[in-house]
Chain A
Amino acid sequence: MMPTTSATRVTLRAEDIGKAFMSGKVRTPVLDGLSLSVRAGELTLISGPSGCGKSTLLAILSGLQRVDTGRVFALDQRLDDLDPRALERFRLLHTGFVFQGFNLFPALTAREQVELPLHYLGVPRREARERAARSLEEVGLAHRMALRPAELSGGEKQRVAIARALSKEPALLFADEPTSALDAASGQIVIDMLHRIARVHGTTVLCVSHDPRLIGHADRVLSMEDGRILNDRRETTPGVPTEGLVP
């Protein structure tokens, strides 16, 4: 597994970015002159009140949305001047996502959910099956591989979604409110899992949440309000083992 020395490398960078939404004739600025760097190998949590622009920031850093002004770099590549096809390609090669909703296909088993993106990545069929199994093992669902979403609990579904993102072996993993549809215990498991992924795989994990319970589980917490980052805190005692992902 990747050593923690990469924890120092900056993989995501926003420089003086601005974003506003038009609702009718009214222009509502959401982000204004925001700059930020995120490092690999750690879990960075962006927290703040509802509507402050956290999800918008995540969408911009992950190449899902465009900025109005400023520049965005991911893995030393400028994202803000890529065309939509190139952005899709960048996301295919480098990013994983975990959303609040699990967004699993009802017809597919856990293993097929995880396999599906791998095919589009060009992974051969057999290898895809093996990688899917490995990722599901990593999130502790080895015994649930053949089940469909209707047969899984909420926490298990979110773990399938994590395995789906993880099996692509992305350098960047984005999570938007990954725990807010879950009970406290399941949320705990999920955030710890994301933390371990950052440590074990050297992945850049950027998580966005308004849930204050997650703060203790992150390596670094950025507090956001009204489209700005007010506070950048590094947790000195992460206290998460780097072996195995399953608690």
Chain B
Amino acid sequence: MVALARKTLVHEWRRFLPAILAVGFAGLLQLLQAALVLGIFSSASIYVTGSAADLWVGYPGTQSVSLGRSIDPNVEGRLLMDPAVERVEPFLWVDADWRGQSGTGGESVYVSGVDPRPDGLVFARVLPPALRMRLREPDAVIVDQADMDKLGVRVGDSATINSYRVRVVGASSGLRALGGVNVVASLDTARVLDTDPADRDRPTYLVARLHDPAAADAVARRISGARGFDRYEVWTASAFARRSVLYWMLDTGAGAGVLFLAGVVFVVGAIITSQTLVAAVAGSVREYATLNALGVGMRALRWVVLEQATWVGVCGLLCASVFGAALLALARGQDVPVVLDVPVALACAVLTMGLTTVSGLAAIRSLRHADPASLLR
């Protein structure tokens, strides 16, 4: 087969350049906004993604980690009964009020009560074992380096949480929260800080590690199905993390913003691309008409135009990938929160190819000018 579409694209690249740039730019915008939004909202799931647990067990219907309610501690026994479960650990979430030393106004903080053992599951990926061990001291808390100024403390200072005196024993990094400040304490300290009588001796979550992390989906389904004690729900870590991020995106309207911008980028990209493709088809309309005179069907000619659109899309995507990778690397270097996973990158690629297909379909319409009778004058 003579690769008419591809050869024309290479030979007349100047003509197609605007379309390739439009597609590439549209793809790049989609990619960057997705990475930025995911980066910002991924901190909503830092509790899950920063931990080494495979399963999360919490109050049924919990939409986000920050919205947990206490559950029956006896669920722990139920979890341990399952042969796939290796270890279970409680996690306590306390919404609290922080007052610094200078006696300034309060800050609302999220206190995470974690097991202070060096091999504890929660925040295993965020807190180094040595730092974590310091939580064993009575009334010890850890705050993030980036929140120190906001809270008005340094390591070694003391402050009050819910009128209870605590001491800052260390600084973490990468533990910033959405809409508040994270404070980490031991389970014992956190229990003391929790003023809600309904939470007495009840954990907010139980997290579990499995012998085989790959079995998480099946085990989660199995344990969820057999409810004997109190009401609870089981999620795999990845499902619970996704749930938390999604909740924040929808709750803050960021999700709608992303979709709106994606729509605008799609439409603008499709308009520019289709105009370029229409011009390209118009430029070759006499040649197409000649092929039709020779008996090459209109249907085959439409495929040529669509193939051309696809090549434009592929070239545009390549540009977007190269620039996108460079920009994301740059952003990471500057501590800009960007997160991109394979499904989201694929979704951006599919959207971009959809844009070029729509443009190709629009350009096909200008083939109707390829009337071979018009060549006879």
User: Which A positions have Cβ atoms within 8 angstroms of B?
Assistant: 55-56, 58-59, 62, 64-65, 85, 88-93, 95-97, 99-101, 103-108, 112, 115-117, 119-121, 125, 148, 164-165, 168, 176-177, 208
Contacts and interface: CB of A to CB of B under 8 A. Distances in A.
A6 B85 CA distance: 91
B12 A117 contact: no
A100 B377 contact: yes
Contacts of A62: 293
B1 A99 contact: no
Would you call the interface of chain B mostly helix, strand, loop, or mixed?
helix
Nearest to A87: B295
A55 B376 CA distance: 6
B290 A112 contact: no
A97 B376 CA distance: 10
A191 B119 CA distance: 92
Contact of A116 (B11, B12, B289, B291): B291
Interface stretch (B226-234, B253-261, B296-304): B296-304
Residue of B4, B376, B377 ringed by the most chain A CB atoms within 10 A: B376
Most buried by B among A55, A96, A103, A116: A103
B295 A93 contact: yes
Interface in B315-371: none
Given A88-B297, A112-B7, 16 more contacts: A55-B376, A64-B372, A85-B297, A88-B298, A92-B296, A99-B376, A103-B286, A103-B289, A105-B8, A106-B12, A112-B2, A117-B291, A117-B295, A120-B296, A125-B1, A177-B377
A119 B1 contact: yes
Contacts of A106: 8, 11-12
Nearest to B11: A107
A75 B214 CA distance: 71
Interface of B: 1-2, 4, 7-8, 10-12, 284, 286-287, 289-298, 300, 372-373, 375-377
A90 B295 contact: yes
A97 B375 CA distance: 10
Contacts of A105: 4, 7-8, 284, 287
A90 B300 CA distance: 16
Contact of B10 (A97, A107, A115, A120): A107
A59 B8 contact: no
A112 B7 CA distance: 10
Contact of B2 (A89, A116, A177): A116
A179 to B, nearest CB: 15
A176 B295 contact: no
B294 A107 contact: no
B8, B291, B295: most-surrounded residue (chain A CB, <10 A)? B295
25 contacts: A55-B377, A58-B376, A59-B373, A64-B373, A85-B297, A92-B294, A92-B296, A92-B297, A97-B293, A97-B375, A103-B290, A103-B375, A104-B287, A105-B287, A106-B11, A107-B10, A107-B11, A108-B2, A108-B4, A108-B7, A112-B2, A116-B2, A120-B295, A148-B11, A176-B377
A107 B8 contact: yes
A133 to B, nearest CB: 14
Given A59-B373, A105-B8, A106-B12, A115 B2 contact: yes
Lowest 4 CB-CB distances: which A-B pairs, in order? A92-B295, A107-B11, A91-B295, A55-B376
Nearest to B295: A92
A95 B294 contact: yes
A99 B290 contact: yes
B294 A164 contact: yes
Contacts of A119: 1-2
Which interface residue of B12, B289, B377 has the most chain A CB atoms within 10 A? Answer: B377
A95 B289 CA distance: 14
Contacts of A117: 291, 294-296
A56 B373 CA distance: 8
Contacts of B294: 91-92, 95-97, 117, 164-165, 168
B295 A95 contact: yes
B2 A176 contact: no
Contacts of B291: 116-117, 120
A103 B300 contact: no
Contacts of B295: 88-93, 95, 117, 120-121
